[in-house]
Structure 1
């Protein structure tokens, strides 16, 4: 009989994953393959642009000063190194579950559950963070158009002096309703919103650059390298959209080719837009003005033009685009729960798919309730940092997974291979560790407690109910 240690580190063969999900177009997968390259790329862009640029500058600039531009570049380089690692694993293991599934195939079951803890934190908390930012822009738009704003009691968390952030809760409910309708419909709606988002940000750059003031770059790095890397940790959660692409593995057409192309395309678009917008924003406004500023990009445009209309347009665009971020991050979390449930380490409730819409409705409802509570009751700065550490650890595991899978399954078909191997994944690992150690101790402590709670669940429930413990095949290729 296998020892506890052997059970905890058992790995799920990639061939079994493909057989039970239909990863190669066959098998018994229950999620419909309906997403092509463009909507998949837009899932990545949609989850990424908006989480950082639209509101995180007010948190990051006070930490790094104008050198926040370097913070975006550092976070982008680390994310880029990891993105190519994701691209290889997504092409080799094209299933739902993202880095949870990759860890299960390469590092073992207990590591996969620890990664699942990171992913659930990453997606749940980031959904809440962007929902809070959406509330800020909604008030900006209402004020510009109607001279009315939702009272603080209903638009701020208790720490911010309110009772409940009601707009954030409403946003989460709207996203859940759309996701229940179907993955293809959600992807199409997201693609439309992303195109609007990019157009709005291009408008910000074109108008904002007219307010360029080189004096705003004086005292470029007031807090030195510590401030720059500290801000990179706050900003880093803006890159989780690249991970969101990999959660759609079972709903993508021709996944071995489409997944890596979408990840790399999303990375290129996101990096270009982030750097351009951050540079123009810092040049157009003194660093002292960023602290505590709500709906920052809209406010910057209003100051540059001296009128309300650009800020109103940007606030409207932000409302649409942040909707897409929340939609995709909630989507990603529901698919991760689905993968864990199918592996037996969550109750069967989480692996059920609606026969008519081919969506995990149960998961969508559970995630929506949890995210609504977080968004309604917690402040945005705490949510942003908690997202960052979950993302960084998940990224780190993916980079390790590339190295392990190259050794354990060198002949496995791969639609993409990491350039510069093994230097690239090693640099990715080091970059993730570098940013993690600059996060606040309280953030690391809360994260460690959360992972411990999930591992307690694993050793009391998951390890006994894992499908790998019961290897008798079911009809359709699944394990009991």
Structure 2
């Protein structure tokens, strides 16, 4: 009888202490715990090594951004917006600018790996963080695959111009784009994975060299293209009106993924509360300047009707402008180097997102196991390379570009909301940077993100809904019960 009463008492105690479904879904991870488990407050702590400074971090941001779109996105954006694609770039840059300020504040307040996933976990709760994490996984994987496909196009252009050789279409295009498998894209993903396995600082140094080369090449393109600038090419300026401009801006936005890539390195930079904001804002300024120069030069040098379906478009423009092949060869070589660095950094970002999620129990521990010699998540990097390689080899480019924009915009929107939530719930936290014009700037960032999301095509929304459905299933069946916060005590 006594044993029965004891069991009843235990059951009653369990019912009383068991957290509600709502409290499980929206439990937050304390910022102090996040910082402590990274070793940010003690030089000897943390699983990842803090070795990067402002220069290397800006290199990551610029490396992940310049090249992601500008070398090949004009072929799809100009047919939508016409010469008004310049306005589309401005819209995307303004949205990215508002969001960059929000990123700078959260990155200086929560200097950990995981970017907007970690920020959402601290401000909006576990289920929101999990959805954001899945958006980031989609964003980085698809972005890596998309630029790998673009790299394949420029590699073919370079081989054709230098030695008169082209990789057969069957081996350089995905099914649905006229081929069987995009082999060069898979090779690129493999090379990036090998470099990432060697170490973050080694990857950052290699990326810094490639960033300098890509900026020089794009400035070279602008200088040459401006010599053929014709005002007549800008008319009609916006043939499809505001709708076309908005649709192009939505597609272009994936070109600004580098802002998020900077914050994924929160556990591998020195003095993160000062370094992260400077690197984020500095990257945005450089990237926006280069993008606008190239866009204006390109639409001024070539009629809008010629952009559609143009493979390795910037190289073709140079060849048409100069009547010579050597400028196109220089541009194609620069693109091959440039896009290599983009793939490198976006794959790096994805491994760090999964690292943070794995440490919280949201995904298997495979992704947070760090090699004791290189201090990098080797197994997680290999898993990412396999997934990205499959996308790059077998999925056409158009689907990849819009899906990347979707994931990026959702992540940026959550960061902007997170700034407002954290200001309200934890005004006492030390902040290395504060958003100027608060709360107007975060609100404008949210509104611009929503506008660009509205401009994405229905098929992208459908694919994104399928992705979120998969995320919901995995959260219920795995993450909710493996979460490190599952014990209410």
Match of 2:131 in 1: 114
Query: What are the superposed Cα offsets for residues 151-206 of structure 1, whole Å, 9 maximum, x if unpaired?
Result: 10000111111110000000000000000000000000000000000000110111
Match of 1:78 in 2: 95
Query: What are the superposed Cα offsets for residues 413-433 of structure 1, whole Å, 9 maximum, x if unpaired?
Result: 111100110000000000000
Q: Describe how 1:97-112 pairs up with structure 2 within 5 A.
A: 97-112=114-129
Name the CA shift for 1:37/1:471 in 2 (closer, same or farther; >3 Å).
farther
Match of 1:138 in 2: 155
Match of 2:372 in 1: 355
Unaligned runs of 5+ in 2: 1-17
Q: Describe how 1:250-329 pairs up with structure 2 within 5 A.
A: 250-329=267-346
Match of 1:478 in 2: none
Q: Does 1:22 align with 2:22?
A: no
Match of 2:59 in 1: 42
Contact 1:182-1:359 within 8 A present in 2 as well: yes
Cα distance in 2 for partners of 1:12, 1:173 equals 35
Contact 1:19-1:27 within 8 A present in 2 as well: no
Cα distance in 1 for partners of 2:248, 2:436 equals 28
SS at match of 1:331: helix
Cα distance in 1 for partners of 2:42, 2:276 equals 14
Contact 2:19-2:488 within 8 A present in 1 as well: no
Cα distance in 2 for partners of 1:220, 1:180 equals 47
Give 1:436's match in structure 2, choosing from 453, 473, 476: 453
Cα distance in 1 for partners of 2:267, 2:40 equals 6
Cα distance in 2 for partners of 1:178, 1:406 equals 39
Deviation at 1:25, TM superposition (A): 3.7
Give 2:113's match in structure 1, choosing from 49, 72, 96: 96
Cα distance in 2 for partners of 1:321, 1:74 equals 24
Contact 1:9-1:108 within 8 A present in 2 as well: yes
Contact 1:17-1:23 within 8 A present in 2 as well: no
Cα distance in 1 for partners of 2:102, 2:21 equals 31
SS at match of 1:89: helix
Cα distance in 2 for partners of 1:280, 1:29 equals 47
SS at match of 1:16: helix
Deviation at 1:445, TM superposition (A): 1.4
Match of 1:223 in 2: 240
Q: Describe how 1:454-469 pairs up with structure 2 within 5 A.
A: 454-469=471-486
SS at match of 1:249: coil
Cα distance in 1 for partners of 2:121, 2:40 equals 16
Query: What are the superposed Cα offsets for residues 62-87 of structure 1, whole Å, 9 maximum, x if unpaired?
Result: 00100000000001100110010000
Deviation at 1:27, TM superposition (A): 7.3
Cα distance in 1 for partners of 2:355, 2:54 equals 23
Question: Which has the higher mean CA deviation after the structures are superposed, 448-457 or 207-216?
Answer: 448-457
Give 2:211's match in structure 1, choosing from 165, 189, 194: 194
Cα distance in 2 for partners of 1:407, 1:25 equals 28
Contact 1:19-1:26 within 8 A present in 2 as well: no
Give 1:241's match in structure 2, choosing from 241, 252, 258: 258
Deviation at 1:295, TM superposition (A): 0.6
Cα distance in 2 for partners of 1:348, 1:381 equals 33
Contact 1:18-1:27 within 8 A present in 2 as well: no
Cα distance in 2 for partners of 1:236, 1:84 equals 17
Query: What are the superposed Cα offsets for residues 390-429 of structure 1, whole Å, 9 maximum, x if unpaired?
Result: 0000000000000000011101111110011000000000
Deviation at 1:23, TM superposition (A): 2.3
Give 2:438's match in structure 1, choosing from 407, 414, 421: 421
Unaligned runs of 5+ in 1: 473-480
Cα distance in 1 for partners of 2:403, 2:41 equals 36
Q: Does 1:407 align with 2:453?
A: no
Deviation at 1:28, TM superposition (A): 3.9
Match of 2:394 in 1: 377
TM-score by length of 1: 0.97
Query: What are the superposed Cα offsets for residues 72-105 of structure 1, whole Å, 9 maximum, x if unpaired?
Result: 0001100110010000000000000000000000
Deviation at 1:24, TM superposition (A): 3.0
Cα distance in 2 for partners of 1:22, 1:452 equals 35
Cα distance in 1 for partners of 2:338, 2:218 equals 10
Cα distance in 1 for partners of 2:278, 2:42 equals 18
Deviation at 1:345, TM superposition (A): 1.4
Give 2:352's match in structure 1, choosing from 335, 346, 360: 335
Match of 1:2 in 2: 19
Q: Does 1:178 align with 2:195?
A: yes
Larger Rg: 2
